[in-house]
Amino acid sequence: MQSIIERIEKEIAAWAPEAGAEETGIVRATGDGIAEIDGLTKTAMSEMVLFDPTFDRTLTEALKDPLPIYGLVLNLEEDGVRAVILGDATKIHEGMLVRRLGRLLSIAVGDSFIGRVVNPLGEPVDGKGPIQAAEMRPIEREAYGVIDRASVNVPLHTGVKAIDAMIPIGRGQRELIIGDRGTGKTSIAIDTIINQKSEPVATRPICIYVAIGQKESKTAKLVAELESRGAMEYSIVVTAPASAPAALQFLAPFAGATIGEYFMEAGRDALVVYDDLSKQAVAYRQMSLLLRRPPGREAYPGDIFYLHSRLLERAAKLSKEKGGGSLTALPIIETQEGDVSAYIPTNVISITDGQIYLEANLFNKGQRPAINVGISVSRVGSSAQTKAMKKVAGKIKLELAQFRELEAFMQFSSDLDVETKKRIDAGRRMTEILNQGRGAPLPFEMEAVIIFAATNGYFDSFAPEEVSAMEKKLQDYLAREADGVLAAIKESKEIREGSEKTLREKLDAFIARQAA
């Protein structure tokens, strides 16, 4: 026994901890979420570093608060580096040890993120426990090149009649939603997410909603709405609230894109909503000024265009060889007093494949969604539009634009000829048809049938103010009486001769019933 004890004691005395050699730095100064670090001469741009709170504490103290705080190196300077602090900056102090992590900023991704609310570092913030990640991915990466992409040819139905008919969005497209505050930008994005519930599960896109610089109460409300509508089953919310450090607000869209790319590369479709990029630009401006980068127009740094272009370029429709997945981006930009010619709006307009422009005037007139169809455009979506929608929605945009002109003209002239009056009435009816409240997205086949009825004069016997109520009745009637036609349109994505005939009969019967 004694010999065993002696042997063990000898082993303990001879024990020497393993040495760990690494490159480190020391915090020289910190403030406003930025740390100036001496050393770290071999650090790469965008590399993650770790502020080690355990280094200058006793083991007991260190075990009480062992959680490290991460930083992101954004300035490489002659005698040190500057990093943004991704966490509680009040815990960082002068003289603190900073360790290199040897990897670019990465977040966890995986299927288990579906239904969860996470922060831009991929950490859950919904109190539902840890997330089992499939893998770690760098949040900054180069977008796919030309060879890896296919053309956008599959529609992404928003469930909003005005958009699906006139400004169609395809899977893999980048469509900007732009407008003043309180004009319904978020509503369109949320309706689009809710509407994906009507898609078959196999082709239903995974929706990622990125909330940047928003009130946490608004995000909580939105998550509750998505949950109540059953949309969280296929959605992920990434949130960097207004109270989060600017660095996290800047990173949030990239985290959203990274999560979306995971699904895209798995051959699935994903939709990512960036709400909104104006706030991200402001956060990036704040960071850049604190990092002492030279300010440019409106005090934004010189690379603000590159910030948005490299983010939005990651939206893609992949070729079959790459799995055929897609990542659709719906960036949102908030304008001031409808000024689309400001710096950030013009940048993002030029990057995206079209824009949905929401106008405060139209919103105040009661038009929902308040889309100005004259300057809203989808540059690639029409090739992804279904045959059914193409057939019924062909000239709506032109007719509505003409109606808006005539409406303006009407204010100066009281004496109008019959033809003009007819056109104005038709325009008013169409405007009423396209009016659609928040949270009421329609399946694409119902949209197609309603627009079919409108463009074929089935609402002509009603006054414009009656059209909205009639449309609601028609929806109920069709759901009850014409589910076969709706199913056929949903299946074939077009209105075939047989379906059209049956549809016309049903519509005639509906009109006759209303007239009686």
Partner 1 sequence: MIDDYTRLLEATAEIEDKAASDAAVTKLILHLKSAGRMKMLPKIARELKKVAARRHALRPFVEVAHHKEEAAALRAAAEAGIDARHAVVNPSLIHGWRARSNGNLIDHSAKRALLHIYQNVTR
The site for partner 1 (CB under 8 A) is made up of 16-26, 28, 38-41, 54, 57-59, 62-63, 66, 79-80, 95, 97, 99
Instruction: Using alpha carbons, select from 236, 204, 6 the residue that is nearest to residue 116.
Output: 236
Rg value, the chain, Cα: 28
Which of 63/299 has CB closer to partner 1?
A: 63
**DSSP letters for 69-102:** EEEEEEEEETTEEEEEEES-GGG--TT-EEEEEE
> Does the active-site annotation cover 141?
no
Catalytic residue among 379, 404, 438, 496: 379
Which stretches within 365-456 are classed as H helix? 387-393, 396-410, 418-434, 444-455
Which of 18/417 has CB closer to partner 1?
A: 18
For the bound state, the minimum distance from the C-beta of residue 27 to partner 1, rounded and expressed in Å, comes to: 9
Which of 78/417 has CB closer to partner 1?
A: 78
What pairs with residue 317 in β-bridges? 326
3-state secondary structure of 171: coil
Cα separation, 256 vs 272, whole angstroms: 7
Which of 69/467 has CB closer to partner 1?
A: 69
For the bound state, the minimum distance from the C-beta of residue 92 to partner 1, rounded and expressed in Å, comes to: 15
For the bound state, the minimum distance from the C-beta of residue 135 to partner 1, rounded and expressed in Å, comes to: 17
Which of 17/200 has CB closer to partner 1?
A: 17
Burial classification of residue 17, based on how many CB atoms lie within 10 Å of its CB (0-12 exposed, 13-18 middle, 19 or more buried): exposed
Which of 58/217 has CB closer to partner 1?
A: 58
Q: Are 441 and 159 in contact (CB under 8 A)?
A: yes
For the bound state, the minimum distance from the C-beta of residue 95 to partner 1, rounded and expressed in Å, comes to: 7
For the sheet containing 69-77, what is the strand order?
A: 34-39, 80-86, 69-77, 47-52, 97-104
Cα separation, 80 vs 39, whole angstroms: 5
Please state, in angstroms and as integers, the Cα–Cα distance from residue 264 to each residue in 144, 270, 284, 407, following that order: 11, 6, 27, 45
Which of 23/483 has CB closer to partner 1?
A: 23
Q: Are 348 and 274 in contact (CB under 8 A)?
A: no
For the bound state, the minimum distance from the C-beta of residue 19 to partner 1, rounded and expressed in Å, comes to: 4
Which of 3/58 has CB closer to partner 1?
A: 58
Is the peptide bond prior to 200 cis by the omega test (within 30 degrees of 0)?
no
Which stretches within 266-394 are classed as H helix? 277-290, 304-312, 343-351, 360-364, 387-393
For the bound state, the minimum distance from the C-beta of residue 43 to partner 1, rounded and expressed in Å, comes to: 9
Residue 82 CB neighbours (<10 A) = 20
Which of 97/340 has CB closer to partner 1?
A: 97
Six-digit token string for 160: 């909003």
For the bound state, the minimum distance from the C-beta of residue 36 to partner 1, rounded and expressed in Å, comes to: 9
For the bound state, the minimum distance from the C-beta of residue 29 to partner 1, rounded and expressed in Å, comes to: 9
Please state, in angstroms and as integers, the Cα–Cα distance from residue 43 to each residue in 33, 74, 127, 289, following that order: 19, 10, 35, 22
Helix crossing, 444-455 with 418-434: angle to 10°? 170
CA dihedral 94, 99, 103, 107 (to 10 degrees): -60
Q: Which residue has the tokens 């709706």?
A: 486
Please name the amino acid found at residue 150: A
3-state secondary structure of 422: helix
Please state, in angstroms and as integers, the Cα–Cα distance from residue 351 to each residue in 149, 306, 310, 344, 389, following that order: 17, 10, 10, 11, 27
For the bound state, the minimum distance from the C-beta of residue 79 to partner 1, rounded and expressed in Å, comes to: 6
Active site residues: 379
